[in-house]
């Protein structure tokens, strides 16, 4: 969806599912007008979720944990942080002695507090200026009453997120409490189990409600809540497990040791000839024993097309970062994402010993995941 305050906003496909359901259910009884009002209702829910996540974002940033991106779901969002959280306990990086689990609780409760503040502000304005809106008139959250829905969407979002069902904010508080006595991946998995139990209960509750009372609206919303909750638990668990793997893998475990280099004095045609016979997309540029830049195959091609033959020195990028052999892969990931790099040279005693590129990184991560899976199966079998 773009960037706000340097944070990438992404919309999860479940929002499109919600949009499709509301569009279909509202267009049937009310026609095109109902469909567009249904679209407006989804927009209100999306806006409420955005403000909810901004609450998390601002508190996290103040705690020294800036976010990289936010994935928006109808029940909240998944915030991907820049710093590693793979610790059992201790002091938050950059903070003055705040335990990590306390910091996580503060970040978690910020979202519901923002929604509660919006609900009370909107409710107070309506009661003072437009009491005819009827905040307690049913249906509470419906496309036919958008002003009332603004109040209830924020109130429902706040109340819903206080449930101890991970990845809802109450579940994040539960995980933070678990993490006081265990490492974060184990704490996440335990919180995920609780969250999935809630998801199953909501979906079963929706079916039971339909059987006992026949209320289509409550059946739909309870079932959707359970489904969205289940999707959210999977997203969060993958994110934390992936980060855990990154922390445990070193650069020397995945770096390429058999790679081609270029010289700043190489012509672009010579560089392209080397690139043709290499599987690399990015090349370190070395003068003597010193690395002076990086250049991509795409940059070489573009320069040849635009200006004809020249020298690598003219098109290479002098903006690059290096890593040590024993540096974690998580650290390399942060360098790549923070500066938009596509290659990380690996050095030892100021000598180039390997490279890690985005291309080989994805391939290596897939192989590492498969290797770990085979080891687990061998141990269990």
pLDDT digits (tens, 9 = 90+) for 321-366: 888 888 887 777 777 766 667 788 888 877 888 888 776 776 776 6
Instruction: Enter the pTM of the model.
Output: 0.64
* Three-class HEC string of 258-296: CCCCECCCCEHHHHHHHHHCCCCCEEEEEECCEEEEEEE
Cα separation values, 323 from 295, 356, 367, Å: 18, 9, 22
Question: pLDDT by residue (tens digit) across 19-38?
Answer: 777 777 666 566 667 677 77
Host H or E run for residue 68: strand 67-73
Domains along the chain? Answer: 2-248 (no CATH), 252-380 (3.10.580.10)
pLDDT for 233 beyond 50: yes
| Cα 103 versus chain centre, distance | 19
Measured distance CA(169)–CA(147) in Å, rounded: 26
Q: Residue 254: its pLDDT value, please?
A: 80
114 touches 54 (CB < 8 A): yes
Count of residues in the chain: 381
Q: Report the sign of the C-alpha dihedral through residues 6, 10, 15, 19, in that order.
A: positive
Which H/E stretch holds residue 285? Answer: strand 282-287
Per residue in 291-332, pLDDT (tens digit) is 888 898 888 999 999 889 999 999 998 878 888 888 887 777
* Calpha distance 17→13 (Å, rounded): 7
Q: Cα dist. 78→13, 200, 230, 292, 363 in Å?
A: 13, 20, 13, 39, 25
Per-residue pLDDT at 112 exceeds 90: yes
Burial of 252 (0-12, 13-18, 19+ CB in 10 A): middle
In the prediction, which pLDDT does 64 show?
75
Decide if pLDDT at 121 tops 90: yes
């Amino acid at each position: 969806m773009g960037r706000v305050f340097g944070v990438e906003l992404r919309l999860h496909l479940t929002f499109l599912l919600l949009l499709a359901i509301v569009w279909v259910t509202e267009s049937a009884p009310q026609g095109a007008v109902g469909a567009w009002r249904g679209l407006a209702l989804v927009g209100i829910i999306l806006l409420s979720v955005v403000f909810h996540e901004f609450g998390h974002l601002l508190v996290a940033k103040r705690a020294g944990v800036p976010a990289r991106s936010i994935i928006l779901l109808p029940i909240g969002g998944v915030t991907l942080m820049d710093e590693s959280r793979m610790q059992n306990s201790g002091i938050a990086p950059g903070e003055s002695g705040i335990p990590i689990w306390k910091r996580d609780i503060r970040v978690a409760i910020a979202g519901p507090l923002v929604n509660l503040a919006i609900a009370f502000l909107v409710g107070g304005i309506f009661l003072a200026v437009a009491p005819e809106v009827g905040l307690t008139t049913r249906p509470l959250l419906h496309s036919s009453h958008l002003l009332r829905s603004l109040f209830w969407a924020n109130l429902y979002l706040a109340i819903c997120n206080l449930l101890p069902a991970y990845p809802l904010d109450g579940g994040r508080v539960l995980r933070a409490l678990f993490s006081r006595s265990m490492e974060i991946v184990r704490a996440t998995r335990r919180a995920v189990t609780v969250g999935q139990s809630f998801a199953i209960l909501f979906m079963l509750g929706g079916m039971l409600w339909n059987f006992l009372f026949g209320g289509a609206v409550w059946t739909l919303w309870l079932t959707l809540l359970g489904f969205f909750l289940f999707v959210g638990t999977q997203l969060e668990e993958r994110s934390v497990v992936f980060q855990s793997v990154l922390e445990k893998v070193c650069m020397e475990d995945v770096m390429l040791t058999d790679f081609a280099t270029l010289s700043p004095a190489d012509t672009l045609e010579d560089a392209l000839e080397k690139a043709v016979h290499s599987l690399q997309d990015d090349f370190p540029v070395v003068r003597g024993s010193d690395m002076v830049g990086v250049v991509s195959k795409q940059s070489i091609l573009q320069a040849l097309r635009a200006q004809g033959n020249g020298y690598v020195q003219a098109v290479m990028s002098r903006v690059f970062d290096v890593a040590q052999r024993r540096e974690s892969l998580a650290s390399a990931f942060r360098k790549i994402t923070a500066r938009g790099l596509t290659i990380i040279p690996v050095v030892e005693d100021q000598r180039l010993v390997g490279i890690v590129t985005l291309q080989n990184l994805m391939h290596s991560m897939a192989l590492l995941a498969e290797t770990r899976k085979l080891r687990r199966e061998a141990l269990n079998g």
